Amino acid sequence: MANLVVHFEIHATEPQRLVEFYGDLLGWRFTQFGDMPYWMIDTGEGAIGNVDGQPGLGINGGLTQRDGPAPEIGAPVNGCNLVIGVDGGIDEVMRRAVELGATEMMPAEDMQGVGRVGYLIDPDGNGFGLISPTLSDGTSAMTG
């Protein structure tokens, strides 16, 4: 097995708020782990059991109660940053995220050979990115 990332965690001051935010925005499903302040995150079909390292398959994660204050807006990233692949253009997903309480950190922009990329701050101060191979003109960044 390769050294693949197989799980991620999001820390939340108000976990239920982020359960609703990511569930509404991305369709993720959350299941509380017993009585603990921890929720398993199912990101969708193909995410778990990717032991063969198949391309295009994502990972599942967890959401946990934050031990301490939320990150301050404008502070540098402390830890890892989550970048989420979305189908089609990301502009509508970014608009929807702002409607649900996120703040735009970096507007979506085309990156030739990569795709369209933008960054947001969730309602609890966590930064995350969105990426799609579809550029603003509807073409794919992954084709010649």
Residue 56 has pLDDT above 90, yes or no: no
Chain segment 111-142, per-residue pLDDT in tens: 888 889 999 999 999 999 999 988 999 888 87
Chain segment 81-95, per-residue pLDDT in tens: 899 988 877 999 999
Residue 52 has pLDDT above 80, yes or no: no
* Annotation: CATH topology of 80-143: 2,3-Dihydroxybiphenyl 1,2-Dioxygenase; domain 1 (3.10.180)
Q: Can you read off the two tokens belonging to residue 44?
A: 């969708």
C-alpha to C-alpha distance for 118 and 131, rounded to whole angstroms:
7
Residues in the chain: 144
What's residue 105's pLDDT?
Answer: 94
Which DSSP letter does residue 110 get?
A: E
* Domain map (residue ranges) of the chain: 1-68, 80-143
CB 53 within 8 A of CB 47: no
C-alpha to C-alpha distance for 90 and 13, rounded to whole angstroms:
27
- Looking at 3.20.20.70, 3.30.70.2190, 3.40.50.2000, 3.10.180.10, the CATH number of the domain 1-68 comes to 3.10.180.10
Residue 48 has pLDDT above 90, yes or no: no
Domains 1-68 and 80-143 share a fold: yes
